[in-house]
């Protein structure tokens, strides 16, 4: 295997660079991610570095999985032992190993955004602060900001009255987290940094272990991440970072592209390597993107150069719809035409937007056209009530101190433990300085002998019963395979009966639970902790599916690092992109520009820029003006699509009338269609349980189950050769041999 084949000379230089700090700075599509992957292969295969001495940090879990698969394919060996994952996943792993240095145990849980908000609320309440004056979200983001800048609760700077309040909430919030044996996302990073910072012996141990550290998307690291990298990188300084300052788009999460400058200052011996050749896009796409980004100040200009064999490519299409309904309709029509003309397959297309809320009209338009699509976003599945309930049960089994999960399920399904009983439980726990979960377990164990028995009044037997259930599950954690434990918990609380209320939605809810159960099977060996951790760290971008037949709908943020032959960027109106919030802040405006730049540079062949002359804002149509970023694209690179608003001419009043009429007509249609359509993209199901099928590689098998998942028919098959497999019907070339 030739690791250096298919790399240009600069890429080769980066892959084979000697030890010490290396910084690869280069524009989009220049092969940074490829270089990082090949460098790992090079270290293992040519330099004899054992995989376990390598730490590679990717921006998403999905990118980590892909990198691992690619490495194992090209090296034809397992890279097990290598640490490969996001900063958060790597930190969680470190924290679980080092509990003797930490204020929580290794079975800590990771609180998601909702959990965090409810804990902030609880902290505000404990401190008798009014949520109206101190909005939980804004207090939370102040705390998160502090954490990302290495500021611990004790060090929170006092200044204004508000700062003092935030400092107190921060303190209380941390106490509550610890009482729940929980950490939030920011804590994963902060505690790891503190662990390394305060304990030279631990630090040295990791420094010795990781002979090579590699980081992708370096421009989106924040201060904690950067500081942590510095601590883990030992005296050898073998830190290899790749990035592009123009693609830094996570400022709101504390990302700071100036880390690139810090890197150069902190490691004067750094080898800087520039990659100049873009392999992804046509020159027209690159010229447009470059014109947009060149308006940003304080950056190093770089020229984006496409592969000569690609030619200039098509101009970028611009379409101005009458309103946002028309915008969505244009996207769907155009996708259908591209497919009909064999210019693209559904899966080649990405439709991008600034905020998640913009997906709704697009989804409706796809539904109305009967076209499958894929929506990227973890929330859709993991945000569902039934999924959160089940996860809360499992989290409680792993960690009975978890107050947030306990509050969620103590009376779900209803078991007679009402508000009053819950309050009594809390008071009893507080009085004894233990967690509510502990009180339950002790009631179960000690029965009437328990000092808590008297205190808890009439509901005590119900509480003790719940404690008995919990104790029973906990006794099984290390004994019972995860899927069985999963079933047992749900059976004992009668969860199926609870969610299946006879309605179609009820059946859907139970199916979702089954979907989660299927995932639990994948964690049979690694167990409950790994399962829960994976769930906690799943991000939007992890839900992008490979080899999809259908167009992908995703935010510009989620599109980072990806590439698609055809890209639509919708909502190119001032106030949408750039976003309203950024209009009077130059730094924010620069970030919005980078976001647009990231979107444009995802495209290999075609770009459609779409906007609407009017938008429905809270039920009213409001005029909107074209995004200022469009003005920066030279006219010769743009072509206006026929049928748009401007192309039609007519006076303003006439346009207005026409617009209103059209959108009303459209909305009526959409409304009617939405009422008729089932809640999933319409596609035909071909396989039924019991059918015999043949697969090109796995030969014959029998269909166990078939269902539509995210717009594709997904079939579970038992193959004689390889056992149970789940395949997507449209991709797997399954042949039916017996109905
Ligand atoms: P981004 O900044 O968007 O993350 P990147 O710099 O990481 O982009 P890659 O994703 O690694 O770029 O590469 C972009 C595309 O170019 C990929 O399809 C990759 O396979 C291809 N590519 C990279 N280098 C080469 C090369 N030397 N020869 C052919 N194709 C290449
Ligand atoms: Mg990349």
State residue 723's pLDDT score.
64
State residue 536's pLDDT score.
87
CA trace torsion 356, 536, 212, 256 (10° rounding): 40
Q: In whole angstroms, what is the distance from residue 540 CA to residue 555 CA?
A: 9
Of the pLDDT bands very low, low, confident and very high (cuts 50, 70, 90), residue 541 is confident
Centre of ligand 2 from the C-alpha of residue 29, in Å: 7
User: Nearest bound ligand to CA 302?
Assistant: 1
User: Nearest bound ligand to CA 27?
Assistant: 1
State residue 673's pLDDT score.
40
The tokens describing 561, both together, are 């690092």
**Run of H or E including 183:** strand 182-183
pLDDT at 500 over 70: yes
- Ligand 1 atom nearest to 275, measured from its CA: 6
Centre of ligand 1 from the C-alpha of residue 565, in Å: 14
Q: Check pocket membership of 276 for ligand 1, CB cut-off 6 A.
A: no
pLDDT in tens, 180-232: 999 999 999 999 999 999 999 999 999 999 999 999 999 999 999 999 999 99
pLDDT at 661 over 50: no
- Ligand 1 atom nearest to 561, measured from its CA: 4
State residue 655's pLDDT score.
46
State residue 378's pLDDT score.
61
pLDDT at 721 over 80: no
What number is the average pLDDT over the span 656-663? 46
Phi-psi region of 31 (alpha: psi -120 to 50; beta: other; left: phi over 0): left
Residue ranges of alpha helices (H) inside 180-255 are 185-198, 200-209, 223-232
Beta carbons within 8 Å of 524's beta carbon, 6+ residues apart: 481, 482, 483
Q: Mean pLDDT in the chain?
A: 89
pLDDT at 679 over 70: no
Mutation probe of ligand 1 site: the residue of 12, 34, 305 with most atoms within 8 A of C-beta: 34
State residue 468's pLDDT score.
96
Contact 578, 629 (CB under 8 A): yes
pLDDT in tens, 334-344: 999 999 999 99
pLDDT at 432 over 90: yes
pLDDT at 672 over 70: no
Centre of ligand 1 from the C-alpha of residue 28, in Å: 8
Kindly report the protein residue whose alpha carbon is nearest to atom 28 of ligand 1: 6
Q: Check pocket membership of 347 for ligand 1, CB cut-off 6 A.
A: no
pTM of the model: 0.81
**Which of the residues are catalytic?**
32-33, 216-217, 247, 602
Residues 336, 337, 340, 346: is their CA dihedral positive or negative?
negative
State residue 724's pLDDT score.
63
DSSP letter at 299 equals S
Centre of ligand 1 from the C-alpha of residue 269, in Å: 27
Q: What is the secondary structure of 476-542 as a DSSP string? A: HTTTS-HHHHHHHHHHHTTHHHHH--SSHHHHHHHHHHHHHHHHHHHTTTTHHHHHHHHHHH--GGG
pLDDT in tens, 223-264: 999 999 999 998 889 999 999 999 999 998 889 888 998 999
pLDDT in tens, 448-463: 999 999 989 889 999 9
Mutation probe of ligand 1 site: the residue of 33, 247, 546 with most atoms within 8 A of C-beta: 33
User: Nearest bound ligand to CA 37?
Assistant: 1
Centre of ligand 2 from the C-alpha of residue 217, in Å: 7
- Ligand 1 atom nearest to 217, measured from its CA: 4
pLDDT in tens, 455-485: 898 899 999 999 999 999 999 999 999 999 9
Q: Check pocket membership of 85 for ligand 1, CB cut-off 6 A.
A: no
Q: Check pocket membership of 561 for ligand 1, CB cut-off 6 A.
A: yes
- Ligand 1 atom nearest to 27, measured from its CA: 2
Kindly report the protein residue whose alpha carbon is nearest to atom 13 of ligand 1: 31
State residue 30's pLDDT score.
97
- Ligand 1 atom nearest to 37, measured from its CA: 11
State residue 667's pLDDT score.
44
Centre of ligand 2 from the C-alpha of residue 40, in Å: 15
Total Cβ atoms within 10 A of residue 83: 20
- Ligand 1 atom nearest to 601, measured from its CA: 3
pLDDT in tens, 600-642: 999 999 999 999 999 877 667 889 999 999 999 999 999 998 7
Centre of ligand 1 from the C-alpha of residue 225, in Å: 25
Kindly report the protein residue whose alpha carbon is nearest to atom 4 of ligand 1: 561
What number is the average pLDDT over the span 53-82? 93
Q: Check pocket membership of 171 for ligand 1, CB cut-off 6 A.
A: no
Q: Check pocket membership of 6 for ligand 1, CB cut-off 6 A.
A: yes
Centre of ligand 1 from the C-alpha of residue 548, in Å: 20
Centre of ligand 1 from the C-alpha of residue 221, in Å: 21
Q: Check pocket membership of 695 for ligand 1, CB cut-off 6 A.
A: no
pLDDT at 651 over 70: no
Q: Check pocket membership of 34 for ligand 1, CB cut-off 6 A.
A: yes
Contact 382, 392 (CB under 8 A): no
State residue 546's pLDDT score.
65
Beta carbons within 8 Å of 115's beta carbon, 6+ residues apart: 182, 184, 404, 405
| Collapsed DSSP state (helix, strand, coil) of residue 319 | strand
User: Nearest bound ligand to CA 32?
Assistant: 1
Which residue in 533, 500, 512 sits closest to 386, CA to CA?
512
Q: Check pocket membership of 33 for ligand 1, CB cut-off 6 A.
A: yes
User: Nearest bound ligand to CA 562?
Assistant: 1
Q: What is the secondary structure of 670-725 as a DSSP string? A: HHHHHHHS-SS--------TT-EEEETTTEEEEEEEEEEETTEEEEEEEETTTEEE
C-alpha of 424 from chain center: 38
- Ligand 1 atom nearest to 35, measured from its CA: 11
What number is the average pLDDT over the span 412-434? 93
């Amino acid at each position: 295997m030739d690791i250096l084949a298919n790399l240009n000379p600069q890429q080769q230089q980066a892959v084979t660079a000697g030890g010490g700090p290396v910084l690869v700075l280069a524009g989009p599509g220049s092969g940074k991610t490829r270089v990082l992957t090949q460098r790992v292969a090079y270290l293992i295969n040519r330099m004899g570095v054992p995989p376990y001495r390598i730490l590679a940090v990717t921006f998403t879990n999905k990118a980590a999985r892909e990198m691992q698969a690619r490495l194992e394919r090209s090296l034809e060996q397992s890279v097990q032992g290598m640490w490969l994952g996001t900063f958060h996943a790597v930190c969680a792993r470190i924290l679980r190993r080092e509990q003797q240095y930490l204020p929580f145990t290794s079975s800590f849980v990771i609180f998601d955004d909702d959990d965090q908000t409810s804990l902030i609320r609880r902290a505000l309440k404990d401190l008798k602060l009014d949520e109206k004056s101190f909005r939980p979200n804004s207090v939370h983001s102040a705390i998160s900001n502090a954490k990302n800048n290495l500021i611990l609760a004790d060090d929170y700077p006092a200044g204004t009255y508000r700062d003092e309040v935030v400092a107190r909430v921060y303190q209380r919030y941390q106490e509550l987290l610890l009482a729940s044996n929980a950490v939030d996302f920011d804590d994963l990073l902060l505690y790891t940094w503190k662990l390394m910072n305060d304990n030279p012996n631990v630090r040295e141990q990791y420094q010795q272990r990781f002979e090579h550290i590699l980081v992708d998307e370096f421009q989106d690291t924040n201060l904690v991440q950067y500081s942590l990298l510095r601590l883990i990188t030992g005296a050898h300084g073998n830190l290899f970072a790749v990035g592009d300052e123009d693609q830094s788009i996570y400022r709101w999460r504390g990302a700071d592209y100036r880390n690139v400058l810090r890197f150069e200052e902190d490691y004067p011996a750094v080898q800087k390597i520039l990659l100049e050749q873009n392999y992804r896009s046509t020159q027209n796409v690159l010229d447009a993107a470059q014109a947009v980004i060149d308006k940003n100040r304080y950056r190093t200009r770089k020229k984006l150069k496409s592969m000569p064999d690609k030619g200039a490519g098509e101009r970028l299409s611009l379409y101005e719809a009458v309103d946002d309904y028309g915008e969505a309709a244009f996207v769907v029509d155009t996708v259908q035409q591209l497919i009909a003309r064999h210019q693209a397959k559904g899966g080649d297309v990405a439709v991008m937007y600034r905020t998640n809320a913009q997906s709704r009209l697009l989804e409706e338009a796809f539904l109305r056209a009967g076209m499958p699509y894929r929506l990227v976003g973890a929330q859709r599945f993991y945000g569902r009530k039934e999924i959160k309930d089940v996860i809360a049960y499992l989290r409680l089994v792993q960690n009975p101190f978890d107050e947030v999960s306990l509050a969620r399920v103590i009376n779900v399904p209803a078991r007679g433990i009402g508000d009053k009983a819950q309050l009594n439980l809390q008071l009893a726990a507080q009085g004894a300085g233990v967690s509510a979960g502990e009180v339950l377990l002790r009631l179960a164990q000690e029965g009437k002998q328990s000092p808590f028995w008297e205190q808890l009044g009439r509901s005590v037997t119900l509480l003790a019963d719940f404690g008995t259930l919990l104790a029973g599950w906990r006794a099984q954690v290390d004994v019972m395979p995860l899927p069985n434990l999963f079933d047992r918990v749900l059976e004992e609380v009668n969860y199926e009966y609870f969610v299946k209320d006879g309605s179609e939605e009820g059946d859907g809810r139970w199916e979702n639970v089954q979907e989660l159960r299927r995932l639990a099977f994948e964690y049979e060996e690694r167990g409950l902790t790994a399962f829960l951790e994976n769930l906690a760290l799943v991000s939007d971008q992890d839900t992008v599916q490979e080899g999809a037949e259908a167009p992908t709908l995703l935010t510009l943020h989620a599109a980072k690092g990806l590439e698609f032959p055809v890209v639509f960027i919708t909502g190119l109106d001032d106030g949408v992109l750039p976003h309203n919030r950024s209009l009077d802040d130059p730094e924010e405006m620069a970030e919005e520009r980078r976001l647009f730049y990231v979107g444009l540079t995802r495209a290999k062949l075609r770009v459609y820029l779409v906007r609407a002359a009017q938008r429905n804002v809270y039920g009213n149509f409001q005029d909107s003006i074209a995004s200022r970023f469009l003005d920066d694209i030279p006219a010769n690179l743009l072509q206006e699509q026929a049928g748009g608003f401007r192309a039609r001419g007519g006076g303003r009043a006439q346009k207005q009338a026409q617009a209103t009429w059209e959108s009303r007509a459209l909305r009526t249609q959409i409304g009617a269609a939405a009422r008729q359509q089932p809640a999933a993209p319409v596609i035909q199901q071909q396989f039924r349980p019991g059918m015999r099928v043949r697969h090109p590689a796995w030969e014959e098998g029998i269909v166990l189950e078939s269902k539509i998942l995210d717009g594709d028919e997904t079939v579970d098959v038992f193959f004689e050769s390889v056992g149970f497999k789940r395949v997507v019907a449209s991709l797997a070339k399954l042949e039916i041999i017996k109905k």
